[in-house]
Chains A and B, each alone.
Chain A
Amino acid sequence: MKYILTAFLTVWLVTGYSQPKAEEILERIDQNMSSENRVFESSMTIHGKRSSRTITSKSWSVGDEKSFTEYLSPAREQGTKMLKLEDQLWIYSPSTDRTIQISGHMLRQSVMGSDLSYEDMMDDRKLTDTYDAEVTGSEEVDGRKAWVLELTAKVDDVAYAARKLWVDAERYIPLREDLFAKSGQLLKRSVMSDVVEVDGRWFPKTILYKDMLKQGDGTEFKMLDIKFNQDIPEHIFSKASLKM
């Protein structure tokens, strides 16, 4: 009996002490995923029901307040630009030479037909600022130990009321994420892979997004090149730069 009790206490102490607190995990994720600023080139392959197509773009962003994206290919999308300033979003279409502000329900529309919405793209806030978390266990994801976290929104203006995260227990990078509506319905799922170390932080280079309410095989987002803490000129984040 004494041995059993000792073994139980040992296991409890080991697991209890080795499992970090939820807030700590979120902070470590934010340290990896958020940055002062970043510049990256990416490709987005949208696997539709009938065909797949790839869109490439270059983005500049500062914190979670400002970002500017220019689409590079295919020809139909080339030159399309998006500017986000705080909670406002503008799109410039070169074929019409018009800049349109996206607001209201349009923010929930798909970006370029992908499984991502404008709202998804706009919400770059830190998880620690927007969600309360609770560690509910650990699982193995793609051969790596992961903490399972359940997040509940603590602010009203987030796109998803709840999230479930599988976080790499060593690198503190989400490996999988389920996004839920207030009703509890699963809306989106994302799977992160190709985790690499860039400038001392871990970052997933490939993310497969799947809108669970949409047909198709999801959208594969690949980070082709990413640089953190760059010197980004301020004029990029102006409406004038949309037409340049």
Chain B
Amino acid sequence: MIKFLIKGLIRDKSRSRLPVIVVAIGVMLTVFLHAYITGFMGDTIEMNARFSHGHVKVMTRAYAENMNQLPLDLALMDVEELLNNLQQQYPEYAWTPRIQFGGLVDAPDENGETKAQGPAAGFAMDFLSEGSREADRLNISKSIVRGRMVQEQGEALLSDDFASKLRVEPGDEVTLIGSTMNGSMTMYNFRVAGTVSFGTEVLDRGSILVDIEDARLALDMYDAAAEVVGFLQTGFYDNEMALNTASSFNNKYTAAEDEFAPVMKTLSQQGSMGQYVELSNVWAVYITMVFVLAMALVLWNAGLLGGLRRYGEFGVRLAMGEEKGHVYRTLIYESVLIGIAGTIFGTATGLFLAALVQEYGIDISGMMEGSSMMMPSIIRTRITPVDYYIGFIPGLFSTVIGTMLAGIGIYKRKTSQLFKELEA
């Protein structure tokens, strides 16, 4: 029976070619867009998590209220003790202290006078402790443009554009001018170990990355940190799990009225990231639903057109004694075969396009100038296992639903009028 239907479809190109192409195009778009959205939104979320938000973040309550201003005077104290507690209580996370700070980076000339100066966004992370995964987390080895990674205290990485602007090379000395957590002006010398480019406008505009111990010395923050960030050991953000952890942690401090008591916030509870996380969760479902609906309408229409074209054929088959149910079922079987063929073809094409964009990316840096949100300036798709089967939803189901809707007309044919119609 199936063999018979396949033969029919292959021999009668008008029955298979257009529907297969329509299904394939729809499936291709679905697969590609799903990979695109997964890649773009996932990259944005993980990039924000890695560089700034963490999967969860512990701060003082006062700091959390003003976190956009990076108020170091409201930083966490006794961080070693806090880290030990967090590691014991929540071992499913990797915990690490961080300090984000602002300041000026001043490059001296050979006489020690200012050669160039620029405002910098500072990121202090644990680069030098044994077993620290911060460098890997930020993918620094792949982001280095010139020089090398920080290997000892007193060294810093500058964003490549910033280093060019300051006219400094790896090996040169620069001075950080900033404010300590007490508000005093501070100056601290760093040797430029290397320059980095993260492909993100916000980070590449003017950033300095230093080891946290150097930042503590520079900013007078002994055993202090602006924040302690936690990353799920799985490496991927899980909103539900993060919310549970934050709730469990914060419950321990509900009674304390100290504004310097620690508070934990998930990535989705920081800034506009909540909306973004929510959006990324439902976006793929929305797109698939829209495609299922759109494809169902298109294929219903295609089915109706096919039904009209095959009006005579159905009439002959019914006149020859074939049951209406049988005609209807064969039509459905045919649509299943068309759906499968179109889906396979569309999925393969969609995956091919997604693989191309995953490899080469789409450069949107021109659109990112002046952006304050940490977003990748090169958009890459991300092919996930879902992409291998997501096309079957619109490709197969919509085709079948469309055909089922269009095929209802078969039951409206009256046997008594068939010969009259055939004569005509």
Taking Cβ atoms with an 8 Å cutoff, the residues of A that contact B are 46, 48-50, 53, 76-77, 91, 93, 95-101, 106, 109-114
Q: Decide if B73 touches A76 in the complex (CB within 8 Å).
A: no
Which residue of chain A has its CB nearest to the CB of B217?
A95
Q: Decide if B175 touches A100 in the complex (CB within 8 Å).
A: yes
Show 28 A/B contacts (Cβ-Cβ < 8 Å), sorted by A.
Answer: A46-B182, A46-B183, A48-B73, A48-B182, A48-B183, A49-B73, A50-B73, A53-B182, A76-B220, A77-B184, A93-B186, A95-B188, A96-B188, A98-B108, A98-B112, A98-B175, A98-B189, A100-B187, A106-B104, A109-B185, A110-B179, A110-B184, A110-B185, A111-B185, A113-B182, A113-B183, A113-B184, A114-B183
- Bound together, the chains give a CA A93 to CA B186 distance in angstroms of 8
For chain B, what secondary structure do more than half of its interface residues adopt (helix, strand, loop), or is it mixed?
strand
Q: Contacts of A111 on B, CB cut-off 8 Å?
A: 185
Q: Decide if B185 touches A91 in the complex (CB within 8 Å).
A: yes
- Bound together, the chains give a CA A96 to CA B185 distance in angstroms of 13
B126 interfacial by beta-carbon distance below 8 Å: no
Question: Nearest-CB distance from B241 to chain A (Å)?
Answer: 34
Select B183's contact among A76, A106, A110, beta carbons within 8 Å: A110
Q: Contacts of A93 on B, CB cut-off 8 Å?
A: 186-187
Q: Contacts of A100 on B, CB cut-off 8 Å?
A: 106, 114, 175, 177, 187
Which residue of chain B has its CB nearest to the CB of A49?
B73
Q: Contacts of A101 on B, CB cut-off 8 Å?
A: 114
Which residue of chain B has its CB nearest to the CB of A94?
B187
For chain A, what secondary structure do more than half of its interface residues adopt (helix, strand, loop), or is it mixed?
loop
Question: Nearest-CB distance from A242 to chain B (Å)?
Answer: 11
Question: Nearest-CB distance from A41 to chain B (Å)?
Answer: 20
Q: Decide if A96 touches B179 in the complex (CB within 8 Å).
A: no
Question: Nearest-CB distance from A45 to chain B (Å)?
Answer: 12
Question: Nearest-CB distance from A90 to chain B (Å)?
Answer: 11
Q: Contacts of A99 on B, CB cut-off 8 Å?
A: 112-113
B40 interfacial by beta-carbon distance below 8 Å: no
Q: Which 10 A/B pairs are nearest by Cβ-Cβ distance?
A: A113-B183, A93-B187, A113-B182, A113-B184, A112-B184, A96-B187, A96-B189, A110-B183, A98-B175, A96-B175
B249 interfacial by beta-carbon distance below 8 Å: no
Q: Contacts of A98 on B, CB cut-off 8 Å?
A: 106, 108, 112, 175, 187, 189
State which residues 98-113 of B face A: CB under 8 Å.
104, 106, 108, 112-113
Q: Contacts of B177 on A, CB cut-off 8 Å?
A: 100
Which residue of chain B has its CB nearest to the CB of A46?
B182
- Bound together, the chains give a CA A100 to CA B116 distance in angstroms of 12
Q: Contacts of B186 on A, CB cut-off 8 Å?
A: 93
Which residue of chain A has its CB nearest to the CB of B182?
A113
Q: Contacts of B175 on A, CB cut-off 8 Å?
A: 96, 98, 100
**Interface contacts beyond A77-B184, A106-B104, A110-B183: sample of 7 additional A-B pairs, CB < 8 Å, sorted by A:** A48-B183, A50-B260, A91-B187, A96-B188, A98-B106, A98-B187, A100-B114
- Bound together, the chains give a CA A93 to CA B185 distance in angstroms of 10
Which residue of chain A has its CB nearest to the CB of B178?
A109
Select A109's contact among B77, B108, B179, B187, beta carbons within 8 Å: B179
Select A95's contact among B73, B112, B187, beta carbons within 8 Å: B187
- Bound together, the chains give a CA A48 to CA B181 distance in angstroms of 11
Q: Contacts of A50 on B, CB cut-off 8 Å?
A: 73, 77, 260
Q: Contacts of A48 on B, CB cut-off 8 Å?
A: 73, 182-183
- Bound together, the chains give a CA A96 to CA B180 distance in angstroms of 15
Which residue of chain B has its CB nearest to the CB of A101?
B114
Q: Decide if A112 touches B185 in the complex (CB within 8 Å).
A: yes
Chain B 150-189, CB-CB to A under 8 Å as 1, else 0, gives 0000000000000000000000000101011011111111
- Bound together, the chains give a CA A49 to CA B77 distance in angstroms of 13
Interface centre among B106, B112, B175, B184 (most CB of A within 10 A): B184
